[in-house]
Structure 1
Amino acid sequence: MTDLSALIRLCPPPPTQPDPVDWDRVETELGLRLPEDYKRLASTYGPGRFGDYIGIHHPHGVTRYSNLTGPMPARIREYLQRDYDQGTYPVPYNPQHLFALGSTDNGEYLFWITEPEDSPDAWRIAVNEARGPQWFTYDGTLTAFLISVLTGTTDVPQFPDGLLNQPVGFTPSVPPPFEVADPPVRPPVDTEDIRNWARANGFQVPPRGRIPREVREAWEQAHPV
């Protein structure tokens, strides 16, 4: 069984076939070839989120910051480069070899480690800590990473303990009713600061694990970049 077949059994794709992707155009626009497993995954599922937590960037992303060819990968790389140059956080790879391919509800980013650049099927996956210095590296493809995380085989320290407490699946992205501006790249913030702010403002938050999306959005609105 291929990794994609295993992922389909675990997380069935939408019943409606996604719009086809012009991969030649996408790769020309990005200036690099993409892993074949990603192209098969994106062509099968379309834009959306896995496990109600992991969003994968897609050439047909419904907003500019969830679009694989949008501005966010470059902006995130610039932020990491600044960290790397200043020694603010120990970025374990040259930021020029990190390409942001997705994000989570808690604000972590998923990256391809684009080494060697001319062998995309050998690229590994890295995950940063949303509001801290920790990094995690997975020695395999994006599809294999999703299977491993969503079956509980791989434990990513940055991900919440209760990630698999609910059934896993795939949720297609829905276009917003209005144009969404590119979000700023927010500097790291300790999750305990968010929890303390939430409790002081009447929100119920668990002592550990995933911060509810409505709490995180309220905190971001109260603390603009």
Structure 2
Amino acid sequence: MDDLAGTQAPGCRLTNPVESVAELERVLPGLVAHRLPTPASVDWPRLESVLGTALPADYKLLCELYPAFELSDFMLVGGPAAGAEVAWAEDTEDLEIVAEWCEDANLAVPMHPYPAPGGLLPWSTSNQGDYFLWTTSPAGPEEWTVTVASRNGAWWHYTGGAVQFLADLVGGVLELWGLPTVRPEITWVHHQPAGGSR
């Protein structure tokens, strides 16, 4: 049996990071109130050097504009804290879990964790143990898509970026394969410099 539920695509893939964040702000109206007074000064070049790859611009912009937050008492959205970039990049715990899940999954096309070519790189988790991953691509981070690895064993793909995925998730656009309903509400905000999940 194939554990891959399928692939969902955005109506139109947003390639401009500012447009992606604006769409998330539109469907998650409480978000704007938490925008940082000045953008977080994350040392992306240092982080990306340690990690071995650049990261998508939409994710980086979201991390600069907002502290870590939780959606609908379910999903943690956040990134590296300024000053903790190396620790964030070197934390392999989530990658090790993803590697185990990839081995256990019964997928027609096997998946592997980053740094394998096209490997999966975690960018968010849920409090129920679900993983939200980038499917990396040699074409560069702006071409990366999202893979959802649900705790209940369902895997599926979304052919847009991470921030647009969040917007479509809370906006009710996506079919919730293996996930609970994610309401457009913020249930927790990290009010100090964000050090969220990857």
Q: Which TM-score applies when normalising by structure 2?
A: 0.70
Describe the SS at the equivalent of 1:133. coil
**CA contact 2:99–2:112 (8 Å) conserved in 1:** no
Aligned to 2:13: none
* Cα gap change, 1:163 to 1:7, in 2 (>3 Å): closer
Aligned to 2:55: 34
Q: Name the % identity.
A: 24
* Cα gap change, 1:2 to 1:170, in 2 (>3 Å): farther
- Report which structure shows greater RCO (CA 8 Å, sep ≥6): 2
Aligned to 1:5: 22
Unaligned runs of 5+ in 1: 176-225
Q: What displacement does 1:151 show? A: 0.6
1:48-63 correspondence runs (5 A): 48-60=69-81
> Residues of 2 paired with 1:137 and 1:129: CA distance?
11
> Residues of 1 paired with 2:20 and 2:49: CA distance?
27
**CA contact 1:136–1:156 (8 Å) conserved in 2:** no
* Cα gap change, 1:34 to 1:170, in 2 (>3 Å): farther
Point out the structure with the larger helix share: 1
Describe the SS at the equivalent of 1:171. strand
Match of 2:143 among 122, 128, 133: 122
Q: What amino acid sits opposite 1:163 in the alignment?
A: V
* Cα gap change, 1:39 to 1:71, in 2 (>3 Å): same
Point out the structure with the larger strand share: 2
Q: What displacement does 1:26 show? A: 1.1
> Residues of 2 paired with 1:50 and 1:56: CA distance?
7
Describe the SS at the equivalent of 1:24. helix
Q: What displacement does 1:169 show? A: 3.0
1:94 is aligned to 2:107? no
Q: What displacement does 1:4 show? A: 1.0
Aligned to 2:185: 168
> Residues of 1 paired with 2:67 and 2:88: CA distance?
11
> Residues of 2 paired with 1:127 and 1:68: CA distance?
21
Q: Which TM-score applies when normalising by structure 1?
A: 0.63
Q: What amino acid sits opposite 1:94 in the alignment?
A: H
1:147 is aligned to 2:167? yes
Unaligned runs of 5+ in 2: 1-17, 193-198
* Cα gap change, 1:56 to 1:67, in 2 (>3 Å): farther
Q: What displacement does 1:44 show? A: 1.1
Aligned to 2:9: none
* Cα gap change, 1:79 to 1:47, in 2 (>3 Å): same
Q: What displacement does 1:174 show? A: 5.9
* Cα gap change, 1:106 to 1:68, in 2 (>3 Å): farther
Describe the SS at the equivalent of 2:50. helix
Q: What displacement does 1:57 show? A: 4.5
**RMSD (CA atoms):** 2.8
> Residues of 1 paired with 2:19 and 2:187: CA distance?
18
The farther-off stretch of 14-23 and 92-101 is: 14-23
Count of residue correspondences: 163
> Residues of 1 paired with 2:137 and 2:36: CA distance?
35
Describe the SS at the equivalent of 1:2. helix
